[in-house]
Amino acid sequence: MLSRVANSLYWMARYIERAENIARIVDVNLQLLLDVRNLDEKRLTAYWLPIVQATGDEEAFFKGHGQATGNAVTEFLVFDLQNPNSLLQSICQARENARMVRDQITLELWEELNRLYLFARSAHAREVWRRSASEFFQEVKASSLHIIGIINATLIRNEGWWFILAGQFLERADKTTRILDVRYQSLPERGMPEPITPDTALEWSAVLRSCSAWDAYKTIHGADVHPRRVAEFLLLSDVFPRSVRFCASELNLALRRISGVAEGRFTNDAEKLTGRFLAELQFSTIEEIFEIGLHKYLDDAQLKLNNVGAELFRAYIYQPFENPDEVHMVQQEEQQQQ
């Protein structure tokens, strides 16, 4: 498979996953604020700032905005085209990557992704947003799930398929660690968390809902929400499809299918780092992780996932395939097809 094609499929999947995660995290926070009383500006910032920090774009945010108010953060994360990781920009990037490999994906996939893109960019989307932000996010989340379903139901299981899966699970693992990290300031730097108040419990259930994990969590632990269990569930569960361990396991499988290497061996650093990361998750307890400190552990996990992405790129893609700039596009158009 051409490296460019593999790269585009991988990024298409990552950006779809990214858009959906942003939709969930912002949506849940908006709903959480409805339940909080006595909101002054300072308390509001305490709810919105961690969301910006979770996306990893704190620096970019403060370049354009003085304060983490609700409006500023949602605008930055959802519609801001200057923010390369905003929801809208993620959808644009996903579609752009799909367009580059239009012949390699199915019509159903292209049509749905294109529909989502046209919706997100339309004036209609802004109207929906003003009327009810939740409805807007519902549209994005539903479309993302629809796309994942189409990918599952229509694409042939070739190398490209495994690149899509690699992108999807790498991004999902990363986003789960970031969402779990949103409430780190309420935790001790190291050691197990204290028993919590009902207000804090609300915040931790918001973390679960941001990962679409609320129902799954209740199935296993009942409605008793505690940071220890939430962290254990989102990091170490081997049955919940958004936990970091589950994602690492799927990523590991995808990478081995791409190269054809047997389990327990590796042919490139992406495989090596993923295997190591997975083993660590498989053979750790949540007590050990809290001993290290959850925030620090999550920070490390993000770094490891970043390195996997970089090594995957080095192993298969060779050189940056940047999206075409305007000159490039104009030249394509200029080619005379007689």
C-alpha closest to that of 308 among 267, 332, 273, 282: 273
Pick the closer one to other proteins by CB: 2 or 145: 2
**DSSP character at residue 194:** P
Among 45, 53, 69, 114, binds other proteins (CB under 8 A): 114
Q: Interacting stretch for other proteins, rule CB under 8 A, among 150-158, 214-222, 288-296, 330-338? A: 330-338
In which region does residue 56 sit, left (phi positive, over 0), alpha (psi from -120 to 50) or beta (all else)?
Answer: left
**What is the rounded (10 degree) CA torsion for 221, 222, 223, 229?**
-10
Which DSSP string do the residues of 150-192 spell out, in sequence order? HHHHHS--SHHHHHHHHHHHHHHHHHHHHHHGGGGGGS-SSSP
Pick the closer one to other proteins by CB: 22 or 166: 166
Residue 43 lies near other proteins (rule: CB under 8 A): no
Residue 118 lies near other proteins (rule: CB under 8 A): yes
Residue 82 lies near other proteins (rule: CB under 8 A): no
C-alpha closest to that of 170 among 331, 278, 68: 278
Token pair 């593999």 in the structure block, residue: 6
Q: How far is the CB of 254 from other proteins (least distance, A)?
A: 13
Residue 71 lies near other proteins (rule: CB under 8 A): no
Residue 65 lies near other proteins (rule: CB under 8 A): no
Pick the closer one to other proteins by CB: 99 or 272: 99
Neighbours of 175 (CB within 10 A): 26
Q: Interacting stretch for other proteins, rule CB under 8 A, among 43-51, 81-89, 141-149, 319-327? A: 319-327
If you compute the radius of gyration of the chain from its CA atoms, what whole number of angstroms results? 20
Sequence-distant (≥ 6) Cβ neighbours of residue 5 within 8 angstroms = 100, 101, 104, 160
CA 261-267-268 angle, to 5 degrees, is 135
Q: Interacting stretch for other proteins, rule CB under 8 A, among 59-67, 98-106, 236-244, 268-276? A: 98-106
Site string for other proteins, 2-41 (x = CB under 8 A): xxx-x-----------------------------------
Do the Cβ atoms of 68 and 77 come closer than 8 Å? no
Q: Interacting stretch for other proteins, rule CB under 8 A, among 183-191, 227-235, 248-256, 321-329? A: 321-329
Residue 280 lies near other proteins (rule: CB under 8 A): no
Token pair of 325, please? 């700039």
Q: Which residues from 140-179 bind other proteins, rule CB under 8 A?
A: 159, 163
Interface contacts to other proteins, rule CB under 8 A: 1-4, 6, 95, 99-100, 102-103, 107, 110, 114, 118, 159, 163, 258, 316, 318-319, 321, 324, 327-329, 331-338
